[in-house]
Structure formats: structure tokens, C-alpha cells
Chain A
Amino acid sequence: MNEILLHIIIALVVLIGAMSVSASLIWLERRLLGVWQDRYGPNRVGPFGLFQVMADMIKIFFKEDWIPPFADKPVFVLAPAIIVAATLIPYAVIPFSPGIVVANLNIGLLFFLAMASLSVYGIVLGGWSSRSKYPLLGSLRATAQLLSYEVFMGLSLMGVVMMAGSFSLEAIVEAQRGLWFCIPQFAGFVIFFIAGLAETHRLPFDLPEAESELISGFHTEYSGLKFGMFFVGEYLGVTFTSLMIATLFFGGWQGPLLPPIVWLPGKTLVFICLFILIRAALPRPRYDQLMSFAWKILLPLSLLNLLATAGVLLILRK
């Protein structure tokens, strides 16, 4: 009985934590972009502009929630929910510290990859059900981009899986006790990072929403709270990808001195800031460059990495 209660509490804390962190990322992102562009960013509402998040929330709650008459209503309403759900569910498999995990699946990594592919549906359906050209173009791009980057996102993680000998995230974190995987699996880390950027369609891989060409891409027709869901979904994805990088390549909750519950969020924050820095610094590539970069450079690289890891492991085991 007590154990069930504990699990429910952990799940609730993770849920609320993930939602509120990704909401406050809006503030963090705007402040950091400001800092890197020599301005202040929002600093009026509350101390350091912290209440800006709340002001934004209130605004988005009271915005008119308009469904275009030509849209496919049920799917149109469902699409943002799919995105949020599909990015929220994999939080369950992250071990936040020893024993604190919502569901210790022994196929945690595969579960995450599956959920990452599912979130494509949110985008595709959102663009499709809007029944207008820019959302459709955006979602076409998103489909191609996410599918091709998913291929080697999985492949880049297989090196980690081989070294840890397990798909369970807890086992992977345990296996990094001596040496974090970012050193032997540096190529895997870089490839996973790039794939994660593309997977969350953040700049410079934000081709699906490319404001300068597609108005706002797949969520052009959305307004009010549904648009907010897409937004929160994106930030949930950023947080989750950072969490995954910290867990898979930087030792998860492991670290000296401080308790584990500090280490993982700390590492995650660093990667979130890196995501934002990349957004502040890099321009968006052309679409064909993006695709050929994926298939001609990153896919062979991740295969090579896989081969080399396997070879080295084979020699070491002998």
C-alpha cells in the first residue's frame, strides 16, 4: 500500500515538475536570448521578470480559441494533445536518483525512442487537419525531417546500450560509475545531440515552422490554448532531450559531493542552456542541406561509431 502511494507521489511530482519547468523555460529562453543579444529580455513583471510566465499563461488562457471552419475538427483538437502526451510519457523512464523513477522499464530506451516517433503524429495531424497550405507544407517537412533524424538517433544510442549491456536507463546510469559515456561515446553524444535538436525541431532545425517561409509551419491555424499546448510540447521536448543527454552520456544522477537529486537537474539545465545558445547563434539551413546532412554525413558516422564500438568491445571481452 505504502509503495503504491510512493509511486503515485513520484509520478505526480515528475508530472508537475516537468510541466512547470517547461513553462518557465519560456522565461529562461527569453532572458538568455536577451543576454546573448546584449539586451535584458522580460524584466518588468515581478523580480527579474519571473512572473512573465504567469502573465503569458493568463493571456493565452483568455485568448479566443478559434477553430477554422474548414478544419477537420476532431483531429484538429486532438493533435496538440498527442504532442504533449507523447513528450510527457517518456519522463516516466528517467531515473532521477537511485530508486526515484516512475517506471523502471527494462526497455526504457526503446520506450523513449518509440514515444519520440509517436510525437511526429501530433505534428503531422496538426498540419493535415488544418487543411491549409502552409501547415501542410510544415508538417510534410516535419515528417521527413523527424523520420530521417530518428534513424540515426536510435543508432547513435546503440553504442551506449552495448557498453552498458542493457536497455534499462537505470542500468545505463549504473554502468557510468567509472567513466561517463560522453568520453568513449563522444561521436554518439554529438550525433544524439544533433538528432535531439532536430527531433524537438528547435533552431537551427526548425524547418517545420520556419517563420520566414511558412508563417508558422504546422501550427499556423492554431490559437489560444491549443497553440500553447504545441509550445509547451516543444519545451517539454527540449527538457526531455536534455535529460536524456545527461542520463545517457553524462552519468545521470552520479556526481561527487552533492546529492543525486541535484546533479541530474543541474546537468539538464546546462544542456537546456546549450540548446538556447545554439538557437541564439546559428541560422537555419536550407531544407535540402538539412536532409543531405542527415543521410550523407550523420547516418554513416553513426554506423561507423556503432561498428567501432562493437569492435573494441569484442576485442576487450576476448
Chain B
Amino acid sequence: MLSILRTLWGVFLHMFRSRETIQYPEQNILDPPRFRGRIILSLDPDGQERCVACYLCSAACPVDCIALQAAQDVNGRRYPEFFRINFSRCILCGFCEEACPTYAIQLTNDFEFSEYDRNNMVYEKEDLLISGPGKHPDYNFFRVAGVAVGVKGKGESENELPPVDVRSLLP
């Protein structure tokens, strides 16, 4: 009986506590840095598309909402001919970002992208591409790895030795 009265009193005292609710549209919600929101495609520091159309994001995606088609430019650098994300299916899990070897695909803090028409939720490459490097400002995939596609010559990558002359017998 006493415990019941104590409970009642304790709950009554909550009247004078501050409210936990965040009044969202008027008040901004917390902005955690690793929030997983709308997906973008980023450019490398040299201003070229980072995506090498390896299909890893598309394969990792649990709901299969990424569609792309690989193509090659004159230097042999791969890029996506089209890159399409269907946000009405995307569950914002972030697997694509983890799968990407080039940091091309990234999730951002924006989550306010509702549409009246479902077709408007399908984002093409033009809608996804941003004009900067996103979360990894200094990273350029082709400067640390990959084949020579006009970004650097053979053996000029960071931490890479010059190519071995296979015809020479010297060590």
C-alpha cells in the first residue's frame, strides 16, 4: 500500500521535470556525425569521379536498390555510365559505404527528402554527385592503388616502388 502511494507521488513529481521531447520541425534534432541519411557520390581531390563502377555497393546492398553500368574513358579509367539509387527501397543501412573501395559512395546527415510521387525517389547520377570529396577530403584512390589511368604513371603511387625491370638480372 505504502509503495503504491510512493509510486503515485513519484510519478506526480515528474510534472515539474523538464520535457524530453525535441520539438522537431521548430527545434533541430541532434546532428550526430555518423548519421546515415541521403546518399551522395563524391569527387576526388582532383575533381574527378571517385566511383570506379566496381559493383561492390550494388552487391552489398541488402535490398538491391543500386543499379549502375560500368564504362571506360579513353585512359581506361572506369566510371559508371549511369548510377541509380532507388531511395524508396533504400533502408539507409550504410553497407554500400562500407563496401566501397574508393570512398565514392557516402551517406550524409540529410534525411528530409520525402516526395509525393514515388518515382521522384529514384535518384540518377546527376542527383547523387556532389562537387567535393565529402568525408575523406584528401583521399584519391588512384594515388594509392590501382592501374595507371592518367592520374599517375606506373610506380608513382604513394608507398609504391618503381616497377621492376623483368629483363634485368640485377636484384
A38 and B11 contact, CB distance less than 8 A: no
A38 and B7 contact, CB distance less than 8 A: no
Q: How far is the CA of A40 from the CA of B20 in the complex (A)?
A: 8
Chain A 270-308 residues near chain B, CB threshold 8 A: 277-278, 280-282
Q: How far is the CA of A38 from the CA of B19 in the complex (A)?
A: 5
Chain A residues near B10 (CB, 8 Å)? Answer: 281
Nearest B residue to A279, CB-CB: B11
Partner of A40 from the list B12, B14, B21 (CB cut-off 8 Å) is B21
Q: How far is the CA of A39 from the CA of B14 in the complex (A)?
A: 10
> What's the minimum C-beta distance from A116 to chain B, rounded to whole angstroms?
25
> What's the minimum C-beta distance from B6 to chain A, rounded to whole angstroms?
10
Chain A residues near B21 (CB, 8 Å)? Answer: 39-40
- Describe A's contact surface by its main secondary structure: helix
> What's the minimum C-beta distance from A43 to chain B, rounded to whole angstroms?
8
Q: How far is the CA of A170 from the CA of B14 in the complex (A)?
A: 38
A40 and B19 contact, CB distance less than 8 A: yes
B15 and A36 contact, CB distance less than 8 A: yes
> What's the minimum C-beta distance from B98 to chain A, rounded to whole angstroms?
35
Interface flag for A106 (CB, 8 Å): no
> What's the minimum C-beta distance from A52 to chain B, rounded to whole angstroms?
16
B8 and A281 contact, CB distance less than 8 A: yes
Chain B residues near A282 (CB, 8 Å)? Answer: 4, 7-8
> What's the minimum C-beta distance from A216 to chain B, rounded to whole angstroms?
25
Partner of A281 from the list B11, B15, B18, B23 (CB cut-off 8 Å) is B11
Chain A residues near B12 (CB, 8 Å)? Answer: 36, 277, 281
Interface flag for B17 (CB, 8 Å): yes
Q: How far is the CA of A282 from the CA of B9 in the complex (A)?
A: 11
A35 and B14 contact, CB distance less than 8 A: yes
Partner of A36 from the list B4, B14, B18, B23 (CB cut-off 8 Å) is B14
Which 8 A/B pairs are nearest by Cβ-Cβ distance?
A281-B11, A39-B21, A38-B20, A281-B7, A281-B8, A40-B21, A36-B14, A36-B11
- 18 more contacts with CB within 8 A, not counting A281-B10, A281-B11, are A35-B15, A36-B11, A36-B14, A38-B14, A38-B17, A38-B18, A39-B20, A39-B21, A40-B19, A40-B21, A40-B23, A277-B8, A277-B12, A281-B7, A281-B8, A281-B12, A282-B4, A282-B7
